[in-house]
Amino acid sequence: MSVTLVRIEGMEALLDHLEGAIEQARAHVTRALGDGQILAASDDHVVRALNLAAELQRLTDAVLVESVGEVVRRSAGPDRDLRLTARRGCHDVSELVQRATRMGPASAARLQRGAKGVALGESLSGGALPALLPAMRSVLLEGEVGIDGLVAVSGPLEAMSQRVPLESLRVADAVLAAEASGTGPDGTPPACADLLRVQAQAWAAALDQDGAEPKEEQAIRMRGVTLGVARDGVVPLRGALLPEVAAQFQRICDAIGSPHVGDGVSFRPEGEGDSGFADDPRSSAQKRHDALATALSVAASSEQLPTIGGAAPTLVISVRAEDLVSDTGWAHVDGIDEPVSVRAAAHVGCAGVIQRVLLGGNGRIQRIGTEERVFNRHQRRAIALRDGGCIIPGCGVRAAWCEIHHVTDHAQCGPTHTDNGVLLCWNHHRFIDHGGWKIRMNQGVPEVMAPPWIERSPRWRPVTTSRTRLLDLVGRRT
């Protein structure tokens, strides 16, 4: 009875303190930040504000995690009517937490995950049972680790708790708690959440040798990619990749998105000094999309994929000849219900194979032309030798990943000749009409002109991305 009384008094004191702290903090925050005083604050004050607010947030996280853990415990009884969630009129713990905290479902779920490893149990006599991860619980209550760091550690450790000895689990718990608080034997500063996650995964891999196989089986069952229905010009993509597949995709994105600074011509606004290449306006998600498009294009043209109907996997886009010439109207992609722009059709036709089919007014096929491969492999090798890679300065995508662009459009009788073809990456080829870059051929040599927003007085410049041509230029200058 005395233990229960102490607990009640302790909680009442905590609630009184929190209420008082909230009122004081609200008054100070409103007074100090409401009229923009932070604009005149020193660098030290701004960084110190971050430090103190984060420490306060970690202490608040401790109260949130502890409270959510207790809500979970009180909502797990067999009698639904006696559960805390039911008594508060909520469907489940997530709803109760969201209503009480004004959080979203993702944040409520993170609190529940974090509480699993540090929540106290209750014995039959009413006493408290230790948490699964007592060391992490201790640094949580001390404000040394917040919900991000807690979830980073408790996830891997809690997942293997049924397969490794409790003593080994507690060793990992103690070491990671020391890393989180900066009290480890190496004297390193407190670890951030990402570093704690890496270290926790390392401990899990070392201790849970038998956990790899069932986890692998689960991952194999969960893998998948789903294409949605085309809407508003895009097709939604969702799914889950196996780690090695995701890593390979990331490597492709890194390879395509990493510019080889110094390989080309640096365009910069006049008077701005040596500012280097212009920033890529694409978002990270857009860059990954374009990397995937590039990889799919390269794979389809590699002649290494299985054939369909005796031919390589070919993207079929149909468009009326008059629409292609006038750059108006719509095109249609085989397998996708929603039409695409004529520019999309022109992009595919420029880089792929064109077959002209003449239909009569009644829809009858009157003439079938032969397939015209835009550039053969011999021409491609020669153009790759000349250009070296995507000719847009600062891009740096290597020749093997590039498409060949007709400087004079194929639909406008542009010849399929090395004097009319240049290397462009998928992104610059697809949006060459949008970015403001201009391309021309000058006696068989490609030249580019930057948009006015990059160079105030644009002028034509020869492209010098080929290694051999760069060496030749250096030799002439020396």
Task: Per residue of the chain (478 residues), give pLDDT as tens.
Answer: 444 555 667 788 888 888 888 888 888 888 888 878 888 889 999 999 999 999 999 999 999 999 999 999 999 988 888 999 999 999 999 999 999 999 999 999 999 999 999 998 877 777 788 999 999 999 999 999 999 999 999 999 998 888 899 999 999 999 999 999 999 887 789 999 999 999 998 898 888 876 656 666 777 788 888 988 888 878 888 888 887 788 788 888 877 766 443 344 444 444 444 333 445 677 888 888 888 888 877 777 666 666 555 555 566 777 777 776 676 777 777 766 667 776 666 666 665 555 666 566 666 666 665 555 567 778 888 998 888 888 988 777 888 888 888 888 766 777 888 899 999 988 888 888 777 889 999 988 899 998 887 777 888 988 766 666 656 655 555 5
In DSSP notation, 348-395 reads: HHHHSEE--EEE-TTS-EEEEPPPEESS-HHHHHHHHHHH-B--STT-
Quick one: three-class SS letters along 175-204? HHHHHHHCCCCCCCCCCCHHHHHHHHHHHH
User: Domain for residue 22, yes or no?
Assistant: no
**Which of these three, 206, 239, 258, is where a domain ends?**
206
pLDDT of residue 318: 73
What's the sign of the alpha-carbon dihedral 174, 175, 180, 183?
Answer: positive
User: Domain for residue 14, yes or no?
Assistant: no
Structure tokens that stand for 416 in this block: 């399929």
Three-state secondary structure call for residue 246: helix
The answer to whether 282 and 290 have CB atoms below 8 angstroms apart is yes
Tell me phi and psi for residue 462, to 5 degrees.
-70, 145
Which residues, at least 6 apart from 348, have a Cβ–Cβ distance to it below 8 Å?
315, 317
User: Domain for residue 403, yes or no?
Assistant: yes
Structure tokens that stand for 420 in this block: 């009319």
Burial of 167 (0-12, 13-18, 19+ CB in 10 A): exposed
**Which of these three, 155, 182, 206, is where a domain ends?**
206
| 40 CB-side CA count, 13 A | 6
Fill in the amino acid letter for 426: W
User: Which run of H or E residues covers position 472?
Assistant: helix 467-477
Measured between alpha carbons, how far is 26 from 294 in angstroms, rounded to an integer?
Answer: 52
What's the sign of the alpha-carbon dihedral 316, 318, 322, 328?
Answer: negative
Cite the DSSP H helix spans in 34-132.
43-74, 84-87, 93-101, 105-118
User: Domain for residue 213, yes or no?
Assistant: no
User: Domain for residue 268, yes or no?
Assistant: no
User: Domain for residue 104, yes or no?
Assistant: yes
Tell me phi and psi for residue 358, to 5 degrees.
-100, 120
What's the sign of the alpha-carbon dihedral 379, 383, 385, 388?
Answer: negative
User: Domain for residue 171, yes or no?
Assistant: yes
Strand partners, 129: 121
The answer to whether 168 and 141 have CB atoms below 8 angstroms apart is no
What is the number of structural domains in the chain? 2
Which residues, at least 6 apart from 76, have a Cβ–Cβ distance to it below 8 Å?
83
Three-state secondary structure call for residue 119: coil
Three-state secondary structure call for residue 111: helix
DSSP label of 126: S
Q: Tokens 């640096």 appear where?
A: 266
User: Domain for residue 350, yes or no?
Assistant: no
- Domain span including residue 134: 41-206
User: Which run of H or E residues covers position 237?
Assistant: strand 237-240
The answer to whether 181 and 145 have CB atoms below 8 angstroms apart is yes
Nearest to 110 by CA among 140, 65, 70: 65
Fill in the amino acid letter for 262: G
**Which of these three, 183, 206, 229, is where a domain ends?**
206
